[in-house]
Amino acid sequence: MAATPDPAPLMPSDNESLTQIESQARSELDAVDDDDALERWRVSYLGRRGRLTLVLRGLTSLPLEERKSVGAQANRLKRELEAELQEKKARLGQSATEALIAERIDVTLPGPPLRAGRLHPTTQTLRDMLDCFVSMGFQVVEGPEIEWDHYNFEALRIPKDHPARDMWDTLWIDAQEESDRPMLLRTHTSPMQIRIMEQAQPPIRVVVPGKCYRYEATDPTHEWMMTQVEGLAVDEGISMADLKGTLADFAHRIFGPDRKVRFRCDYFPFVEPGMELRIDCFLCGGEGCRTCSRSGWIEILGAGMVHPEILESVGYDSERYTGFAFGMGVERIAMLRHGIDDIRLFYSNDLRFLDQF
Ligand code: PHE
């Protein structure tokens, strides 16, 4: 007998073997529950060396009669198993989709909470202040935070070594002795008075918001950076009454119509006369408390009539034109509006503070 290298193909001598293949194939297919197992099942029955394939290949060696009946049965089984294979494949695919659907994202569930951003309290108060002045006809202009000594001091009638320089402790960029045009971080927004008047002719009505810097130890009422709003109006016939009317109106719109306002003399080298504006203390109602240093009044700004020498220095005729100027701290106004007792809270970035506005 000659040995065959291939395993002998299954040669069903009768329908019994085909029936066996059929029932095994069906029960195994039944147990298949994923794509890999299905592929193994296909290879073992319908693959090139699959059990049914081998039966079909072996048909030629059968006697004619048997070949006919076994052949018909085997071909029927092949068609049926192929159909069942496709069916199973489709069902597996479907349950994979179902599994995906089961774990899909439920878009109707509420998402993780988003923290709403909001404007910084300084910005909120600044915008209210600017809205107020814009409605009175002022234009908003901005200027540089790094400034020449000239604009911050000299042109405002505060020469080097003048005692008034002590009113503004300065952060210098150049050592004053080493440069003939030293630069600094502006200590107030007043230098913009000069810059504007140098470039424009009256009538002028501007407000200038911006950051200012001071070389100061911080405490509840002092910060080394703060925001100011400067005001400047120059025209024919502008008087102290215009200044008082403008500022009283502003104070009533920001602090409420019942606030009392009071003007008192004060000194600033660039105005003559100079004054301060106070409002009655809303905490104690004028009785005197810690916030108003027991005076019953709280200072909110400095102001005055633009010094005639300054009008002349920018080329205006001081016989024809007069003007007023004022300057105030935005954080200070926000503190008074909201009852904030420490200016350092503004820029320490503590959300427990910022969330309240
Ligand atoms: N610039 C002054 C300050 O910062 C305030 C001021 C402005 C006073 C305009 C008078 C006129 O203290």
pLDDT tens by residue, 228-264: 999 999 999 999 999 999 999 999 999 999 888 999 9
* Probe target for ligand 1 pocket from 156, 190, 267, with the most ligand atoms within 8 Å of CB: 190
102 or 136, greater pLDDT = 136
Catalytic status, residue 214: yes
Instruction: Please give the C-alpha separations between residue 146 and each of 212, 270, 355, in angstroms, as whole numbers.
Output: 9, 20, 32
Does position 1 have pLDDT exceeding 70, yes or no?
A: no
Q: What's residue 15's pLDDT?
A: 52
Q: What's residue 59's pLDDT?
A: 86
Q: What's residue 303's pLDDT?
A: 98
Q: What's residue 66's pLDDT?
A: 83
The mean pLDDT of the chain is: 90
Catalytic status, residue 325: yes
Q: What's residue 105's pLDDT?
A: 78
45 or 1, greater pLDDT = 45
Query: 243 with 305: CB under 8 angstroms?
Result: yes
311 or 6, greater pLDDT = 311
Cα–Cα distance between 140 and 133 in angstroms, integer?
9
Beta bridge partners of 129: none
Residue type, 146: I
* 202 Cβ below 6 A of ligand 1: no
What percent of the chain is predicted at pLDDT more than 90?
A: 57
* 325 Cβ below 6 A of ligand 1: yes
Does position 163 have pLDDT exceeding 80, yes or no?
A: yes
* 304 Cβ below 6 A of ligand 1: yes
Q: Is 249 left (phi over 0), alpha (psi -120 to 50) or beta?
A: alpha
* 324 Cβ below 6 A of ligand 1: no
Closest ligand 1 atom to Cα of 328: 5
Q: What's residue 14's pLDDT?
A: 47
pLDDT digits (tens, 9 = 90+) for 285-334: 778 887 778 888 888 999 999 999 999 999 999 999 999 999 999 999 99
Query: Quick one: average pLDDT of 267-271?
Result: 97
Query: 51 with 21: CB under 8 angstroms?
Result: yes
pLDDT digits (tens, 9 = 90+) for 44-94: 999 999 998 988 888 888 888 888 888 888 899 899 989 998 998 888 888
Catalytic status, residue 172: no
Q: What's residue 287's pLDDT?
A: 85
pLDDT digits (tens, 9 = 90+) for 206-223: 999 999 999 989 988 889
pLDDT digits (tens, 9 = 90+) for 113-160: 888 888 999 999 999 999 999 999 999 999 999 999 999 999 999 998
Instruction: Please give the C-alpha separations between residue 155 and each of 82, 254, 257, in angstroms, as whole numbers.
Output: 99, 32, 37
Query: 144 with 130: CB under 8 angstroms?
Result: no
Question: How many angstroms separate the alpha carbon of residue 268 from the centre of ligand 1?
Answer: 7
The total of other beta-carbon atoms located within 10 Å of residue 307's CB is: 21
201 token code pair: 């002719």
Question: How many angstroms separate the alpha carbon of residue 190 from the centre of ligand 1?
Answer: 6
Catalytic status, residue 228: yes
Residues 309-332, buried b or exposed e (16+ Cβ, 10 A)? ebbebbebeeeebbbbbbbbbbbb
Residue 177, judged by CB atoms within 10 A of its CB (0-12, 13-18, 19+), counts as exposed
102 pLDDT band, cuts 50/70/90, is: confident
Query: 326 with 231: CB under 8 angstroms?
Result: yes
178 or 321, greater pLDDT = 321
pLDDT digits (tens, 9 = 90+) for 11-23: 544 455 888 898 8
